[in-house]
């Protein structure tokens, strides 16, 4: 399946489940689906795939109505380990297919070709509908496309919020026929203290998180906010009844810099610099 096909299938707003475990993960996933979410994002490393699967089941929705994403951890990037790990994820999630399977972080210790060929083999076997990347730099995205060909890898999931300028990465993804998915979209709550966002939110009778999520999806970026609070999960979904003006979009753009919140030692690649620093 191509990127164009994925674009028509991936809901622009999803629920992130990082750090949601046990009963909380189950309840939040079920609640989100009842509110109207149709995109759930998890990962092998989150240790909650079973609870996510139970939450989807408990929602009463047909499996085909939920777009489910999970990710392969880098220590399972060799061909045999990757294939085995996907089978384990399917078992935990209680499903016979994943909608989108991502490589969670780059792993320079295993040849990228071996990993991507294993990822494509899993897709060919019908275990995932779409495949993609997460936390890949521009250079690594280009290397991946050179191996897979255009239209095969549908998205690169990266940290993106008003304080981190990812315009170069997003532009590069577009040039490679890939979408961009934003995790940490509300910057761990920092956006609630931002006067620019507060002022714009007041104009629309919304809150700063809703404005930020709207800013993302109006760029054509998929957003996957996470919350353990059912009320916040509900509020985050209420972004389809208003639109930001071009001036409001530009005002939020002005906040962007290099305030990265996620860069784990031993996993993070050599990040691309924002345009101002790269010049």
Higher pLDDT, 275 or 90: 90
Percent of the chain with pLDDT over 90: 94
What's the confidence (pLDDT) of residue 275?
83
Q: pLDDT, tens digit, for every residue of 182-197?
A: 999 999 999 999 999 9
Say which CATH superfamily domain 3-278 falls into.
NADP-dependent oxidoreductase domain (3.20.20.100)
The set of catalytic residues is 46
> pLDDT, tens digit, for every residue of 191-230?
999 999 999 999 999 999 999 999 999 999 999 999 999 9
Residue 69 has pLDDT above 80, yes or no: yes
Measured over the CA atoms of residue 231, residue 180, residue 118 and residue 45, the dihedral's sign is negative
pLDDT computed for residue 266 by the predictor: 95
Per-residue pLDDT band at 32 (split at 50, 70, 90):
very high
Report d(CA 267, CA 105) in Å as an integer: 6
Average pLDDT, the chain: 96
Cβ-based neighbours of 231, under 8 Å, separated by 6 or more = none
Domain boundaries along the sequence of the chain: 3-278
pLDDT in tens, 151-177: 999 999 999 999 999 999 999 999 999
Helices (H) and strands (E) in the chain, counts: 12, 8
Confidence of residue 8 (pLDDT cuts 50, 70, 90): confident
Alpha helix locations (H) across the chain? Answer: 3-7, 22-35, 49-58, 79-93, 112-124, 138-148, 167-175, 195-204, 208-217, 230-237, 246-253, 275-278
């Amino acid at each position: 399946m191509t990127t164009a096909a994925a674009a028509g299938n991936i809901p622009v707003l999803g629920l992130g489940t990082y750090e949601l475990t046990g009963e909380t993960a189950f309840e939040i996933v079920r609640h989100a689906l009842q509110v109207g979410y149709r995109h759930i994002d998890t990962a092998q490393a989150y240790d909650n795939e079973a609870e996510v699967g139970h939450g989807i089941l408990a929602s009463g929705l047909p499996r085909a109505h939920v777009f489910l994403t999970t990710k392969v951890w880098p220590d399972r990037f060799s061909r045999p380990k990757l294939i085995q790990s996907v089978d384990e994820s399917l078992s935990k999630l209680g499903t016979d297919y994943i909608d989108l399977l991502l490589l969670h972080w780059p792993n320079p210790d295993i040849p990228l070709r071996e990993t991507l060929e294993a990822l494509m083999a899993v897709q060919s076997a019908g275990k995932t509908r779409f495949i993609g990347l997460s936390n890949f730099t521009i250079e690594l995205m280009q290397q991946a496309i050179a191996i897979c060909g255009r239209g095969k890898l549908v998205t690169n999931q990266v940290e993106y919020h008003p304080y981190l300028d990812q315009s170069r990465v997003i532009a590069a993804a577009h040039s490679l026929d890939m979408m961009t998915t934003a995790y940490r979209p509300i910057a761990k709550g920092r956006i609630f203290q931002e006067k620019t966002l507060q002022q714009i939110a007041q104009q629309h009778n919304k809150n700063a998180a809703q404005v930020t999520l709207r800013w993302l999806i109006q760029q054509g970026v998929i957003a996957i906010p996470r919350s353990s609070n059912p009320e916040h999960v509900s509020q985050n979904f209420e972004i389809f009844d208003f639109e930001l003006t071009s001036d409001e979009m530009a005002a939020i753009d002005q906040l962007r810099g290099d305030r990265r919140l996620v860069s784990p030692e031993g996993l993070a690649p050599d990040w691309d610099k924002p345009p101002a620093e790269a010049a």
